[in-house]
Structure 1
Amino acid sequence: MEGVMVSAVTGVMRPLLAKLGTMLEEKYRLSRGVKDDISFSRDEMRIMNALLVNLTGMEELNPQDKEWRDMVRDIAYDMEDCTDVFAHAIDEASNNTCCCMRWLEKLKVRLSFAGEMKTLKARVVDVSDRRRRYEILGEPTGRQPTRALVAVDPRLWALYPDAPGLVGIDGPKEKLAELLGKGNTQQLKVVSVVGFGGMGKTTLANQVRDKIKSQFDCTAFVSVSQIPNMAMILSGMLLEVGGTLPSGPNDDRLLIDCLREHLKNKRYLIVIDDLWTTEAWNTISCSLVENDCGSRVITTTRIEAVAQACCSSHGSVYKIKPLNDIDSRTLFHRRIFHPEDACPEELKNVSDEILKKCAGVPLAILSVASILASPEGVKSKETWEKVKNYLGFQLEGNPALGLMKHVLNLSFSELSPDLKTCMLYLGIFPEDGEICKDDLVKRWVVEGFFTEDYGPYGPEEIAESHFNELINRNMIQIGKLDECGHVLSCRVHDLMLEFIIVKSTDENFITIINDVHGTKKGHLEARRLSLQVRNSEYSQVLADMDLAKARSCNFWGPCELGQPATV
């Protein structure tokens, strides 16, 4: 938990150190005293950053260390704001056509900046003295060696939904297809797949859709999520089944009418993924016209009552089950070893003990396996024992959702500080959205997450390498591929997204405004704002917020059909 918070602090440190270095350049013509203050502050902040990196491996910090960490974070934020305002003010003053006024404006800006830097330096000295006075954190680590770029692990392709060898899917796929075919074959029928997060509901629904879609005139797949934007969901359904969006504003009733008109004489198959409320189902179901053409609908949900509501008439509920021991072992070993039966004899017992704790949950199995699949962990019995002991200690008596929480925490704690920062940034994206790889990589670079000297590699190459490593570790999931098999997009599992949102918002790394995460005291001053709305309701929210210190503002709403507007 605490390592997560520290990674949010280190996320601002790298761009800050680069900006402080830029301030020393001759073009800013700062006095010797100001340059000395900047150099001193930069050196101290660099040491503090190294100390903070040490914290990322710690489960808990004592109150004294937490207080010191928070003070460093606040200084880093204020110093970054100060340098940005100064650089902008100098550029503005340079545009003045009058030579004398230009000189006076720049002098005023430099004097103001000098005073602010002196104040910030005093805060840096105070925080540095506190570390020495109270012996906080111990000694800093040295710089990490440059690593080779990471490619997507080829062992992953056998695990993704388009692969023929998905583990444990054949039985459930046949059963779900059988339920869809039962009874009156011409009547509209709904089958709801229910089970807790990480059980593979979406994968199963997609597999059945791919198997039987040739029997239908049109098909669609839509994700609903906890905060459903009905205009976007209904628009997506209409486009996927081959309809045309109406001109003008798309309200729910108009879209439902368009869907009913388009589907009235068609045999359709629609997958409605990640339903959370009966209200969302009641709205969507209005578009599912009963036309005696043998249409079928598959829904997925974590909530039994929602599943029952979907199937109140002419439907069935399918409760997805955990993987059995054989399938669990196959999935686990396939991710780690090549070939999958190459598990060393000395690891077989500890492997079985780890699998017992994963309780047949596919996401848990893959998350733990991705930790052990690293070059350092694949044959290290010490690492395997460490993972087993961690799970055993954390999961004693916990239910399934407790299992996933601790598995995700373990996966996150094994990431480097850079990777943790990249993961926290994913909290800006709405639930169940597809994230373009190129867009994400550019965002990481622009945010300044990769400002160090990485030897022969540029920031974009390092960012893409980090993207690949997050896929290899099962922290993010492959979305779309191009014809050559290159990853074009990714998705974040909703359990993982819930996990990182809690971490990133607690540290003010990201501020999220939606129906679940409203404005709270202390969150009105945003650094990275993600505004996820269904209509023009955001205007008042923005009016109440202080965006002066915002590094980016991301707006997600119905007008863009899921595409963000980033400021």
Structure 2
Amino acid sequence: MRTLLPKLAALLAGKYKLSSGVHKQIVSLRNEMGSMNALLVRLSRAAALDEQQRDWRDKVRELSYDMEDCVDVFTHDLNGSGHGGKAWLRRRLRKIKTRHKIASRVEELKARALQVSSCHHRYKIDERTLSPPPDCIPSPRAGGLVAIDPRMEALYVDPNNLVGIDGPREKLIKLLSREEDGANRLRVAAVVGSGGMGKTTLAHQVYTKIKSQFDCKAFVTVSQNASTFKTLSDIYQAFRGWMPSSLKDGQLIVELRNYLRDKRYLIVLDDIWAINAWNTFKVCFVENNLGSRVITTTRNEDVAKACCSCFHGHVYRIKPLNDLDSRRLFYKRVFYSDEACPKQLKNVSGEILKKCDGVPLAILSVASYLASHEEVSSKETWEKMQNHLGFPLEGHPAFEWMRHVLTLGYNDLSLDLKTCLLYLGIFPQGSKIRKENLVKRWISEGFVTEKHGYGPEDIAESYFTELINKNMIQIDEYDDCGHVLSCRVHDLMLDFIILKSTEENFITVIKEPPTGNGAHNRNGGFEFRRLSLQLSKFRMHSGVG
């Protein structure tokens, strides 16, 4: 839709010399689609849609695709060139024919638009609740909502079951204990990394180990949709054990500052999504030279830097597990021992772990899925997982939290960034995607438009950088000057992208061998919008783009 509206506006430009009747129809069509787009934007921000909302969204999307194709064909024909007598005459005749086609085609599209619009009014789609409570996630098992935040598991996990945590925990404690510029000054450590890397677990392990050194302490989950007042209330309640109902925002900040003025405090703010939220939280932190400490976790590099900009801060970039720790974690979850893997499964388990790429949540999700099978040591099941790692993302309970983590990151993107991210689904698994060629593709597809005086190239470059900063894609290679040359997409993120692309009929991926019920080969009965053929003999693992 975001590419259609500018094209409709361009079609109305004087250069195309449309008849007054067709011009009015297209103006009406543009206005109708603009109104639908406003509701689509609201629907895109919802955490879950019901059947009628999804059906209406799909109809509008397919209508906008057909309109865009129609406009592309018409503008191409009307822009046709030709010089000389016969060529000029052929071009004139083609334009007359094209303008006649426009009139009839616009009538058809207008009728479809009115029909879709009547469904919107009939079912009052925009008047219904569009999202569940912020602390709930959709559950395929219950068909409803999970009211408990799954991150709670990280707060109560047995330290003996953790793998690869000791080194990062001691490094983070060392960062908080550094004595240069005064050990008693307020220090902030911002833990940053993509979803599922274990940021919450690491922060809680550090908090547990050092909290006895402080007069008051609080571990608070911020989350994507939580209000700053709720977060500040949680901090206050953790300190005082109660929360006065009469306190307003400004009063709460004053109360917190007064309480912390003469105390050494430790505060963990887990999962901060926005710089604006941090700017509110930091007002409460009193610099009292008593050695207070604040730990934050975030997926966003810009948020992490903001957390460290005002106080003596350090950004700690959490790293993936190494090969040894990945195997230990995987085997402990599947076989309850890190040395119990049957010999015939060691090679295939190595290939599965390569795809997990050291991400703890990915390893645990896959291991839980395999452990849930009656025949845990079935080589056939393991090989199926190796070949279709992200397939269980669609519905298996073991992948529920993984789905939620990926969805949170996706929902945090702007509409333009979502489109650019989904486009990465055209690249085969393991591809090295060159930045220069990718931004050109985005521009040619119409995903990028000029804004505030910046050209499409500048905007596309900023989109690429933002996807990296939000840890949605990974840097693969730098040039000699330190500029990013190429990126890659984690296998589970790529499978998530393909699932979303299939759901929105944005890209259809066909792999070999074709399967009747494979997630990557379905397009929901709609015509293909973009088709990516990823057959094994043509698959390239480097230099794509």
Q: TM-score, normalised by structure 1?
A: 0.50
* Residue matched to 2:219: 349
Amino acid of the residue matched to residue 17 of structure 1?
A: L
Amino acid of the residue matched to residue 19 of structure 1?
A: K
Amino acid of the residue matched to residue 53 of structure 1?
A: V
C-alpha separation between the residues in 2 aligned to 1:36 and 1:352? 50
CA offset at residue 497 of structure 1?
0.7
Q: Structure 1 residues 500, 36: CA separation in 2 closer, same or farther (over 3 Å shift)?
A: same
* Residue matched to 1:125: 114
* Residue matched to 1:530: 532
C-alpha contact (below 8 Å) 2:420/2:442 kept by paired residues: yes
* Residue matched to 2:401: 403
Q: Structure 1 residues 422, 102: CA separation in 2 closer, same or farther (over 3 Å shift)?
A: closer
CA offset at residue 412 of structure 1?
1.3
C-alpha contact (below 8 Å) 2:432/2:488 kept by paired residues: yes
Unmatched runs of 5 consecutive residues or more in structure 1: 1-12, 140-318, 355-368, 536-555
CA offset at residue 496 of structure 1?
0.7
* Residue matched to 2:68: 80
* Residue matched to 2:134: none
How do 1:182-221 residues align onto structure 2 when only pairs under 5 Å count? none
Which among 494, 498, 510 is matched to residue 497 of structure 1? 494
CA offset at residue 376 of structure 1?
2.7
Which among 20, 30, 46 is matched to residue 18 of structure 2? 30
Amino acid of the residue matched to residue 74 of structure 1?
A: E
Please give the per-residue CA displacement for 1:393-420, whole angstroms capped at 9, x wherever unaligned. Answer: xx9x997643322211111122221111
C-alpha separation between the residues in 1 aligned to 2:32 and 2:277? 35
**Does 1:323 pair with 2:175?**
no
Which among 412, 415, 430 is matched to residue 414 of structure 1? 412
Query: What secondary structure, in the 3-state scheme, does the structure 2 residue paired with 1:490 have?
Result: strand
Q: Structure 1 residues 407, 379: CA separation in 2 closer, same or farther (over 3 Å shift)?
A: farther
**Does 1:465 pair with 2:335?**
no
C-alpha separation between the residues in 1 aligned to 2:215 and 2:452? 40
Query: What secondary structure, in the 3-state scheme, does the structure 2 residue paired with 1:334 have?
Result: strand
* Residue matched to 1:439: 437
* Residue matched to 1:218: none
Q: Structure 1 residues 113, 431: CA separation in 2 closer, same or farther (over 3 Å shift)?
A: same
Q: Structure 1 residues 345, 530: CA separation in 2 closer, same or farther (over 3 Å shift)?
A: farther
Q: Structure 1 residues 52, 522: CA separation in 2 closer, same or farther (over 3 Å shift)?
A: closer
Query: What secondary structure, in the 3-state scheme, does the structure 2 residue paired with 1:130 have?
Result: helix
* Residue matched to 1:110: 99
Q: Structure 1 residues 134, 402: CA separation in 2 closer, same or farther (over 3 Å shift)?
A: closer
C-alpha separation between the residues in 2 aligned to 1:104 and 1:476? 49
C-alpha separation between the residues in 1 aligned to 2:270 and 2:436? 24
Amino acid of the residue matched to residue 57 of structure 1?
A: R
CA offset at residue 353 of structure 1?
11
**Does 1:333 pair with 2:176?**
no
Please give the per-residue CA displacement for 1:286-343, whole angstroms capped at 9, x wherever unaligned. Answer: xxxxxxxxxxxxxxxxxxxxxxxxxxxxxxxxx9935358369779833299xx9999
CA offset at residue 378 of structure 1?
3.4
C-alpha contact (below 8 Å) 1:481/1:487 kept by paired residues: yes
CA offset at residue 89 of structure 1?
2.6
Please give the per-residue CA displacement for 1:119-140, whole angstroms capped at 9, x wherever unaligned. Answer: 111211222233233322259x
* Residue matched to 1:166: none
Query: What secondary structure, in the 3-state scheme, does the structure 2 residue paired with 1:501 have?
Result: helix
Q: Structure 1 residues 346, 460: CA separation in 2 closer, same or farther (over 3 Å shift)?
A: farther
CA offset at residue 516 of structure 1?
6.1
CA offset at residue 450 of structure 1?
2.0
* Residue matched to 1:196: none
Amino acid of the residue matched to residue 48 of structure 1?
A: M
Query: What secondary structure, in the 3-state scheme, does the structure 2 residue paired with 1:488 have?
Result: strand
Query: What secondary structure, in the 3-state scheme, does the structure 1 residue paired with 2:278 have?
Result: coil
C-alpha separation between the residues in 1 aligned to 2:451 and 2:278? 26
C-alpha contact (below 8 Å) 2:272/2:297 kept by paired residues: no
Query: What secondary structure, in the 3-state scheme, does the structure 2 residue paired with 1:530 have?
Result: strand
Aligned residues: 328
How do 1:71-470 residues align onto structure 2 when only pairs under 5 Å count? 71-92=59-80, 94=82, 97-98=85-86, 99-138=88-127, 321-324=163-166, 326=169, 333-335=190-192, 348-350=218-220, 372=272, 374-378=274-278, 401-451=399-449, 454-470=451-467
Q: Structure 1 residues 481, 81: CA separation in 2 closer, same or farther (over 3 Å shift)?
A: same
Query: What secondary structure, in the 3-state scheme, does the structure 1 residue paired with 2:118 have?
Result: helix
C-alpha contact (below 8 Å) 2:508/2:523 kept by paired residues: no
C-alpha contact (below 8 Å) 1:347/1:381 kept by paired residues: no
What RMSD in Å do the two structures reach over aligned CA positions? 4.3
Q: Structure 1 residues 112, 132: CA separation in 2 closer, same or farther (over 3 Å shift)?
A: same
C-alpha contact (below 8 Å) 1:335/1:373 kept by paired residues: no
CA offset at residue 40 of structure 1?
1.2
**Does 1:480 pair with 2:477?**
yes
C-alpha separation between the residues in 1 aligned to 2:215 and 2:415? 34
Please give the per-residue CA displacement for 1:128-174, whole angstroms capped at 9, x wherever unaligned. Answer: 233233322259xxxxxxxxxxxxxxxxxxxxxxxxxxxxxxxxxxx
Q: Structure 1 residues 413, 347: CA separation in 2 closer, same or farther (over 3 Å shift)?
A: farther
Please give the per-residue CA displacement for 1:513-536, whole angstroms capped at 9, x wherever unaligned. Answer: 11266555756842222111233x
C-alpha contact (below 8 Å) 2:63/2:112 kept by paired residues: yes
Higher RCO, Cα 8 Å, sep 6+: 1
Q: TM-score, normalised by structure 2?
A: 0.52
C-alpha separation between the residues in 2 aligned to 1:372 and 1:329? 18
Query: What secondary structure, in the 3-state scheme, does the structure 2 residue paired with 1:349 have?
Result: strand
CA offset at residue 96 of structure 1?
8.0
CA offset at residue 373 of structure 1?
5.5
C-alpha contact (below 8 Å) 1:14/1:450 kept by paired residues: no
C-alpha separation between the residues in 2 aligned to 1:472 and 1:380? 22
C-alpha separation between the residues in 2 aligned to 1:379 and 1:493? 32
Query: What secondary structure, in the 3-state scheme, does the structure 1 residue paired with 2:487 have?
Result: strand
Amino acid of the residue matched to residue 505 of structure 1?
A: T
* Residue matched to 2:34: 46
Amino acid of the residue matched to residue 514 of structure 1?
A: K
Please give the per-residue CA displacement for 1:70-125, whole angstroms capped at 9, x wherever unaligned. Answer: 11111101101111111223344756843554433321121111100111112112
C-alpha contact (below 8 Å) 2:25/2:110 kept by paired residues: yes
Query: What secondary structure, in the 3-state scheme, does the structure 2 residue paired with 1:475 have?
Result: coil
Q: Structure 1 residues 456, 352: CA separation in 2 closer, same or farther (over 3 Å shift)?
A: closer
Q: Structure 1 residues 426, 405: CA separation in 2 closer, same or farther (over 3 Å shift)?
A: same
* Residue matched to 1:259: none
